[in-house]
Amino acid sequence: MQESTVTIKGQTTLPKDVRQALNLRPGDKLRYLILDGGEVRILRSQPVMALAGLLKDRVGKAVTLEEMDEAIARGALDR
């Protein structure tokens, strides 16, 4: 388990292992997700441009509006 000390200004230095695990570089931004029970998760923020092409390989064949309506109706029947 890694530790760091919080300064009077509320600052801390992330341990090297944590920086490596998050692949952090100078200037990167972090997000803090506060969970129930006082647990906090630290996430590396991703710039919007990093999402470009994310779904490129997941594109299937085009479907018609009628096919979409049929799929929605089938989904509603399954409930």
* DSSP label at residue 55: T
Asked, for residue 47, whether it belongs to a domain, the answer is yes
Query: Which structural domain range is residue 20 located in?
Result: 16-78
Asked if residue 9 belongs to a domain, the reply is no
Is 11 a domain residue? no
Q: 3-state DSSP call for residue 50?
A: helix
pLDDT in tens, the chain (79 residues): 889 999 999 999 999 999 999 999 999 999 999 999 999 999 999 877 777 777 777 667 788 899 888 889 888 776 6
Task: Note the pLDDT of residue 4.
Answer: 95
39 occurs within a structural domain: yes
pTM for the full model? 0.56
Q: Note the helical H segments in 1-79.
A: 16-21, 65-78
- Can you give the pLDDT at residue 36? 92
Q: Distance between CA atoms of 56 and 60, rounded to whole angstroms?
A: 10
